[in-house]
């Protein structure tokens, strides 16, 4: 008998990854003077590992062997994507059928066999859908749940309006070539299992809401209703059973309220520039954040460490601030913390408007 009623999966990343896997990135380089076009697998092949000098790679090799010297500024560099060649494998064919070496050896009079190169996928869409099917099968096997739901993003995202310091998700690349086509096929095949996030919500917000519902049920009955599956570190802020679908061998884990708060405070300190373009405090990474929270075991104590770090970084006085949209205003350290907290916080209820100051007041955090 399954332990949980349902497994709620943050599936946006799986969908994006599957579409991205069947394509490859490269750069197209055009010589401004001659209009000659070259292709490289990446910028390092073109100009080396130094983003400042840009004198290695092909440029360095050319300049070492030619009198006419070139520099990076002599070229137009464009990032491109295209679908990969469909995968192939070499198989043994007998009378038009694929056989293994073992099957061939067992035949009494081995017929004439020949090797043939065949494509293992009919199309890129089939290839990507196969990756999705495999992932769903693995999730079902690990979840120990009776049913499952696959959450994907819907219309809009309230965080785009909240973000003033930097554009939210501003560092993300364009969607893969096959993304929309794959999404349509995925919705068609799994229409009874897919859930579209409410307007303004992200898929991990929806999983978070389900996780908090499960935690509330646990507090009343001593048993969780749901298990979550994701790789997004943000969902570690919810005290609900979960497993990482990239590392199913780690099994199902249930974080405590204290562990969830600790993770949230780590994020407040170091931000999340690489994934969501949320700044945190410049110069603070994982090691420094962990050190700042060292010995602070209660949520109130953790938040007080965050407050001290923000006050130290921004100072106690108001300062002029210009948003990434060019709007000028005056801000304080608390304004900066409040914005980061709204961006990083995972919703517990639909359309919740989070204000970290209310959390401070509820826990008795010394912040004024």
- So what's the pLDDT on residue 108? 54
Which residue in 234, 247, 246, 169 sits closest to 208, CA to CA?
A: 234
Which residue in 227, 192, 220, 182 sits closest to 3, CA to CA?
A: 227
pLDDT cut 70: percent of the chain above it = 91
- So what's the pLDDT on residue 200? 94
- Give the mean model confidence (pLDDT) for residues 246-270: 94
pLDDT tens, 165-213? Answer: 999 998 777 899 999 999 999 999 999 999 999 999 999 999 999 999 9
Q: Is the per-residue pLDDT at 117 higher than 70?
A: no
Helix axes 257-270, 299-314, angle to 10 degrees: 10
pLDDT tens, 136-163? Answer: 999 999 999 999 999 999 999 999 999 9
Q: pLDDT band at residue 86, thresholds of 50, 70 and 90?
A: confident
Q: Is the per-residue pLDDT at 104 higher than 60?
A: no
Q: Is the per-residue pLDDT at 120 higher than 70?
A: no
Q: pLDDT band at residue 229, thresholds of 50, 70 and 90?
A: very high
- So what's the pLDDT on residue 53? 87
Q: Is the per-residue pLDDT at 115 higher than 80?
A: no
Q: pLDDT band at residue 338, thresholds of 50, 70 and 90?
A: very high
Can you count the helices (H) and strands (E) in the chain? Answer: 14, 13
- So what's the pLDDT on residue 248? 87
Q: Which residues pair with 93 in a beta bridge?
A: 98, 114
Which domains, ranges and CATH numbers included, belong to the chain?
A: 4-16+128-363 (3.40.50.1010), 24-83 (no CATH), 88-119 (no CATH)
Q: Which residues pair with 24 in a beta bridge?
A: 82
Sign of CA dihedral 356, 362, 366, 368: positive
pLDDT tens, 314-333? Answer: 999 999 999 999 999 999 99
- So what's the pLDDT on residue 109? 53
Q: How far is CA 59 from CA 24, 51, 294, in A?
A: 23, 13, 48
Alpha-carbon span 346 to 325, nearest angstrom:
25
pLDDT tens, 280-326? Answer: 999 999 999 999 999 999 999 999 999 999 999 999 999 999 999 99
- So what's the pLDDT on residue 1? 77
Please, what is the average pLDDT of the chain? Answer: 92
Instruction: Name the residue with higher pLDDT: 173 or 6.
Output: 6
Q: Which phi-psi region, left, alpha or beta, contains residue 295 (left: φ > 0; alpha: ψ -120 to 50)?
A: left
Instruction: Name the residue with higher pLDDT: 255 or 236.
Output: 255
Alpha-carbon span 33 to 36, nearest angstrom:
8
- So what's the pLDDT on residue 91? 62
- So what's the pLDDT on residue 50? 87
Q: Is the per-residue pLDDT at 247 higher than 60?
A: yes
**DSSP class per residue in 148-161:** EEEEE--S--HHHH
Q: Is the per-residue pLDDT at 23 higher than 60?
A: yes
């Amino acid at each position: 008998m399954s332990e949980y009623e349902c497994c709620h999966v943050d599936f946006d990343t799986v969908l994006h990854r599957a579409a991205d896997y069947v394509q490859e990135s490269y750069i197209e380089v055009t010589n401004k003077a001659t209009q000659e076009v070259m292709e490289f697998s990446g910028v390092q092949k073109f100009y080396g590992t130094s983003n400042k000098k840009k004198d290695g790679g092909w440029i360095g090799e050319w300049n070492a062997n030619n009198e006419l010297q070139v520099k990076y500024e002599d070229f137009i560099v464009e990032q491109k994507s295209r679908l990969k060649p469909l995968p192939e494998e070499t198989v043994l064919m007998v009378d038009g059928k694929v056989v293994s070496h073992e099957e061939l050896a067992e035949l009494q009079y081995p017929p004439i066999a020949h090797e043939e190169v065949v494509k293992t996928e009919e199309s890129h869409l089939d290839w990507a859908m196969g990756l999705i099917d495999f992932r769903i099968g693995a999730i079902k096997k690990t979840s120990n749940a009776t049913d499952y739901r696959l959450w994907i993003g819907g219309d809009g995202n309230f965080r785009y309006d909240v973000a003033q310091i930097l554009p939210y998700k501003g560092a993300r690349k364009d969607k893969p070539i096959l993304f929309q086509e794959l999404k349509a096929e995925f919705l068609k095949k799994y229409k009874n299992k897919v859930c579209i996030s409410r307007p303004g919500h992200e898929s991990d917000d929806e999983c978070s809401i389900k996780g908090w519902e499960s935690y509330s049920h646990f507090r009343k009955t001593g048993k969780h209703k749901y298990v979550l599956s994701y790789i997004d570190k943000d969902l570690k802020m919810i005290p609900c059973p979960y497993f990482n679908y990239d590392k199913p061998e780690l099994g199902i884990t249930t974080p405590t309220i204290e562990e969830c708060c600790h993770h949230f405070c780590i994020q407040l300190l170091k931000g999340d520039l690489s994934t969501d373009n949320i700044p945190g405090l410049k110069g603070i990474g994982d090691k420094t954040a962990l050190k700042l929270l060292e010995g602070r075991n209660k949520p109130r104590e953790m938040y007080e460490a965050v407050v001290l770090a923000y006050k130290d970084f921004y100072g106690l006085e108001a300062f002029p601030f210009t948003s990434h949209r060019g709007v000028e205003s005056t801000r304080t350290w608390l304004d900066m913390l409040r914005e980061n907290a709204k961006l990083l916080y995972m919703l517990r209820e639909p359309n919740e408007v989070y204000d970290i100051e209310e959390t401070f007041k509820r826990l008795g955090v010394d912040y004024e």
